[in-house]
Chains A and B, each alone.
Chain A
Amino acid sequence: MRFAPHTDDDVREMLARIGLDGLDELFEQIPPSVRLDRPLDLPEGVSEMEILADMRGLAAANRSADDLVCFAGAGAYDHYVPSVVWALAGRSEFYTSYTPYQPELSQGVLQALFEYQSMICELTGLEVSNASLYDGATALAEAVNLARSAPGRDRVLVSEAVDPRYVETLWTYGRGAGYEPEVFPVRDGRGGDPQVEGDVAAVIVQHPNRYGILEPARELFGTAHAGGARAIQVFDPLSLGVLVPPGALRADVAVAEGQVLGNHLNFGGPYLGVIATRLDDVRRMPGRIVGETVDVDGKIGYVLTLQAREQHIRREKATSNICTNQTLMAIAATVYLSWLGPGGLAELGRRCVAKAAYTAERLTEIPGVEPLFPGAPSFKEFALRLPRPADEVRDELIERGFLAGVPLPDANGHALLVAVTERRTKAEIDALAGAMREALA
């Protein structure tokens, strides 16, 4: 299958116009010593029917959240994606366009991103959002770079209850940026006592945290500010219908995994990196930002703005190297948040809280199953202590049709993190409880 439209006559005519006899002449400047003197060692091309058959086979070899009832979370969640989201974000004028370098032909993407930024500000209670980053983990790395721009402040304190994949990402990015994240311990799965000295740039807290527990974020951020550091919150956008938003908790920078905003699980990507800050930090913000302006006739329109922060202008002095971001996922998030509105966001949050509480109650009725952190307040996710290794229990429950959660290294591998979205029905929850009871019997 090929998409180049040239007929043999076209090729001849075009070569003649260029003044050449054959296609090989177009490549004569490549030194013979580096030319590949054989075909690529790949199969010959195939038809659309054949590629579909091949890839349907691969897809069928997965047991997805359509085959297993999904209680897995730990950073990616099976929330419902309404039909309208991808009916619109999937329009080809959006998905086949490039970064809006010619704003007159890109008002659709630009305005959608302006609306996205607006909605992220409304959600978080912060003043500025950018137009997206790659995902939650890399958004945190960017937030740390922002915080470390403060003179004399290099150190980064991270709560032990922040998702370990995020901390691993900080370790990796820190090798280049010149820091090692310092993990401060928590008690009973939350809190902790970060020592914020004069060289600390940022204190990072995830709320709700990696165990699903609600953190005393206000106090932790107060400690950060008392030491002159920026407070960075990793948040769950869908918790903000029911939980106090980062801005009101006095976070300076809030980052999130935006997958939950209308994006599919996609085996981990493409997701959406959300970042919001205070207005004071707008010139330190990484990535694209869309601003409203007017055209020569005074008509309102949208452009990429504050580009002097960005790599294509500022080169090595840029606030980030990001160029391609996750615009399409941000557009999906915008449509999704329009679908939810304030009422839907609050209702969805209440559903998550209620269903997670009900699930925890049902599962802890099973002999030997206990909450890992008894009495800890949570949103949509909670950790259990199982009487057997959690990966074994999970695998047995897969055979019974459930993706029961994500095993944690805590409690000698006996801990299981269970996530319950608004999608899970009472019947599914009861069935999980029944299956787990049998598996552990």
Chain B
Amino acid sequence: MTGAPVRTQGPDIQSGTIKDRSRAGRRAYSFPAPDVPGVSVPEEFARRDRPALPEVAERDIVAHYTRLAQMNYGVDTGVYPLGSCSMKYNPKVAETVAGLPGFQRAHPQQPDHTVQGALELLWRLERAMCEITGMARATLQPPAGACGELTGLLLMRAHHTKQGSARARIAIPDSSHGTNPASVRLAGYEALHIPSDARGLVDVSALEKLVDEDVAGLMLTNPNTLGLFEEDIEKITNVVHNVGGLVYYDGANLNAILGRCRPGDMGFDIVHINTHKTFATPHGGGGPGAGPVGVTEELVRYLPVPSVERDEATGEFRLADRPDSIGRMHGFHGNFGVLVRAYAYVFLHGSDGLQEVGERAVLNANYLAELVKEAFPLAYSGRPMHEFVATARPLRERTGVRAMDVAKRVIDLGFHPSTVYFPLVVEESMMVEPTETETMETLDGLAAAMLQAAEEAKTDPEILHRAPVTTPVRRLDEARAARHLKLRWS
């Protein structure tokens, strides 16, 4: 058994941190010969000690971080079916263009006339984002989805303040991503939890009872966090609009509906997009992302500044202010380098290609769900879209094997497992999102691994409890990590 393709072996001399390789006097840096006179920092400001950074040669650095990279699984390594994360293939050409010196070496404080290309790119991308989501204008400034959420909620706050109505609460479904309630609090609101019904959809009658004129708005993902399309979406947005509230679209699952339908046409007022999901910008092991936010015409005045505008007469692009703006969500213009990659993705695909992306993502998810449903039934009966939420509850009841055990066994069988234990509203949940870039053969292989794990749970559950055994480390003691904090080398 070889397990998921990550490096496990190496001589002991290579283990440990970069600091363990440190030898006094060894170095990697080089500078040109000094060409101006030395000047010393005034005594009172001068550092006396030397920070204990590693002293290593460049060869050590390369060996060390190559080893770490080889111990890590990425999309390039294989299928990465984390539900809610849209871990699709990241096109290489996007890396090429992001590295063009005209983008990579542009300083954010250059005057507009020297960065016309960067501004035009942002201007075109904003318009594409608006067309894809059905919005009037957008800001590309938020550097991640959660920051997009906060931006959207601050826009709601600005809108209600302008209307002269202070509102205290934001409605969110019980299945929502944790960033939603956290953003709600950061925006100065209280979360009002909306239950799901037996179908796994927003309980519209409960929503009608719960929302009133103290509700500033509703945050919703559609398809929702269970991978199901909110069929009553027009009713839902109407209920909120009828009390003067706004409706926010969390774009985590936009991949499913590309070119098929648009949040703006469903009645959403504010939309965020995760470019690192829908538009395949690499997630970098945790970031960077980008979280553009689009809005309806009436909210444009509140969008963050600076905005990018085009002078119709001259065709020149410039950064502009908006007097009613909520302000600034990022130090500069957001994660520009990520937006460059998103631009490449959007315009490579075009209108026809983007629709195909959504279709194939939904096809792959439904196909995989079909293959594994005997062992891992869907948590809800509706047709899943780009991802499905299955449950290992029957397996646990019969064998004592849990969703996490299945995930770890799938690793030993050569694959990155799905998200487990999210969403919280489903017991023993397994949230699977294969994305559109995996072949049928890969899905067959992943399904076979999941089914084999389910079979072994009945015949030899110990294999699953013990898994993984093929990885650089085996199951880690998370409780110990939190109890005996070691957050830096000593």
Contacts and interface: CB of A to CB of B under 8 A. Distances in A.
Contact of A266 (B104, B117, B330): B104
A156 to B, nearest CB: 15
Given A173-B150, A323-B179, 8 more contacts: A2-B356, A19-B370, A29-B229, A72-B110, A104-B472, A244-B46, A303-B476, A327-B286
B337 A293 contact: no
- Going nearest first, the 4 A-B pairs with the smallest beta carbon separation are A268-B332, A59-B102, A328-B284, A108-B72
A441 interface: no
Contact of B45 (A100, A292, A377): A377
A40 B132 contact: yes
Interface stretch (B204-212, B293-301, B357-365, B449-457): B357-365
Given A45-B349, A176-B153, A14 B181 contact: no
A303 B481 contact: yes
Interface stretch (B85-93, B239-247, B393-401): B85-93
Given A40-B131, A321-B183, A301 B473 contact: yes
Most chain B beta-carbon contacts within 10 A, residue among A100, A268, A340: A268
Given A18-B370, A295-B474, A95 B74 contact: yes
A179 to B, nearest CB: 10
A10 B120 contact: no
B113 to A, nearest CB: 8
Contact of B416 (A105, A295, A327): A105
Interface in B63-103: 64-77, 80, 82, 85, 87-91, 93, 95-97, 100-103
A171 B158 CA distance: 13
A290 interface: yes
Interface stretch (A221-229, A353-361, A365-373): A353-361
Contacts, number: 694
22 contacts: A2-B349, A26-B385, A36-B259, A55-B97, A56-B97, A62-B114, A92-B76, A94-B285, A102-B417, A119-B53, A125-B51, A129-B488, A134-B330, A243-B47, A266-B336, A271-B331, A316-B181, A325-B286, A328-B286, A351-B34, A358-B36, A425-B32
A58 B4 CA distance: 41
B31 A26 contact: no
A322 B142 CA distance: 12
Interface stretch (A196-204, A329-337, A381-389, A431-439): A329-337
Contact of B332 (A97, A165, A315, A406): A165
Contact of B87 (A73, A98, A106, A289): A98
Contact of B285 (A10, A34, A99): A99
B131 A41 contact: yes
A214 B42 contact: yes
B320 to A, nearest CB: 15
Interface in B153-173: 153-154, 157-158
A128 B55 CA distance: 22
B187 interface: yes
A68 B114 contact: yes
Contacts of B39: 353-354, 357-358
A187 interface: no
B19 to A, nearest CB: 7
A70 B107 contact: yes
Contact of A293 (B85, B131, B355, B478): B478
Most chain B beta-carbon contacts within 10 A, residue among A108, A123, A312, A334: A108
B311 interface: no
A137 B331 contact: yes
A61 B102 contact: yes
Given A84-B61, A353-B39, A52 B370 contact: no
A295 B52 contact: no
A19 B366 CA distance: 10
Given A95-B74, A118-B17, A118-B488, A138 B179 contact: no
Contacts of A353: 39-41
A266 B396 CA distance: 49
A257 B109 CA distance: 15
B266 interface: yes
A350 B104 CA distance: 27
B229 A30 contact: yes
A344 B351 contact: no
Given A44-B352, A344-B29, A18 B366 contact: yes
B52 A122 contact: yes
Contacts of A343: 27, 29, 55
Given A93-B70, A176-B187, A324 B111 contact: no
A312 B419 CA distance: 13
Interface in B454-490: 468, 471-478, 480-482, 484-489
Interface string B270-288: 0000101000101111111
Interface string B367-399: 100110000000000110100000000000000
Contacts of B73: 93, 97, 102, 105-106
A291 B154 contact: no
B362 A27 contact: yes
B338 A101 contact: no
Given A29-B231, A66-B101, A178-B188, A299 B286 contact: no
A56 B100 contact: yes
B92 to A, nearest CB: 9
Nearest to B187: A176
A4 B437 contact: yes
Contacts of B53: 119, 122-123, 337-338, 340-342, 345
Contacts of A346: 50
Contacts of A412: none
Interface string A218-262: 000000000000000000000011111100100000000100000
A291 B486 contact: yes
B100 A99 contact: no
Most chain B beta-carbon contacts within 10 A, residue among A90, A242, A267: A267
A97 to B, nearest CB: 4
Given A13-B440, A108-B70, A347 B31 contact: yes
Most chain B beta-carbon contacts within 10 A, residue among A17, A64, A90: A64
B234 A94 contact: no
Contacts of B46: 242-244
Given A60-B102, A358-B37, A30 B487 contact: no
Interface in A1-37: 1-6, 10-11, 13-15, 17-19, 23, 26-31, 33-36
Contact of B353 (A10, A45, A68): A45
Contacts of A267: 103, 106-108, 115, 118, 332-333, 336-337
